[in-house]
Amino acid sequence: MLRMRRLNNSALDRLAVETVILAASDYSLLVVGRMPSAAEDVDDFFLGLPPGRGLEDKHPLGFFVGERLVGIADVVRGWNSPNKAIIGLLLFVPESRSAGNGRDACSIIEQYVRKWHSVDTVRIAVVDCNTRALSFWHRNGFVETGERRSKEFPYTGDRVVLEKLLKPVGE
């Protein structure tokens, strides 16, 4: 059973996140065209923010099977509007993919975000060459907004923006 906890920028959590990022090097190669950089990518996971957001808005999340961290997510509250949250990253180690963990993590993230009463929409930007991820988000109820961000460093393609309106609790 997949469980989640908020991660902190401690040595122990940094090492666990590094392990996931390095194990999922196929993602980095596809999306940014390079092997993952342990220090740089872990720093970005814990400290990277979109403009106008602070660390109090950033929620680094870990997904565990037993005691093992098998996936990570970066969720930022209030981007690009006060009623939205953005998933900056959802990443699983290869052996934990295609087992329903992504779907379960998506549901857990939605439940987590619903607790922020001012947030009713979750968004994500997916690099267009990552067709597997685009298909995943579509299957999980995310809809393309029509917004596309042109290819820019470090991405290997255009970013397609998708959003999902969250149903109120109890609906």
Name the strand (E) or helix (H) holding 137: helix 131-139
Q: Which pLDDT does position 171 carry in this prediction?
A: 55
How would you classify the pairing of strands 84-92 and 121-127? parallel
Q: Which pLDDT does position 117 carry in this prediction?
A: 86
Q: Which pLDDT does position 163 carry in this prediction?
A: 98
CB 57 within 8 A of CB 77: yes
Distance CA 57, CA 171 (A): 26
Mean pLDDT within 39-53? 95
Q: Which pLDDT does position 71 carry in this prediction?
A: 98
Q: Which pLDDT does position 98 carry in this prediction?
A: 85
Per residue in 90-105, pLDDT (tens digit) is 999 999 998 899 999 9
Distance CA 120, CA 165 (A): 6
pLDDT at 41 over 90: yes
CB 55 within 8 A of CB 49: yes
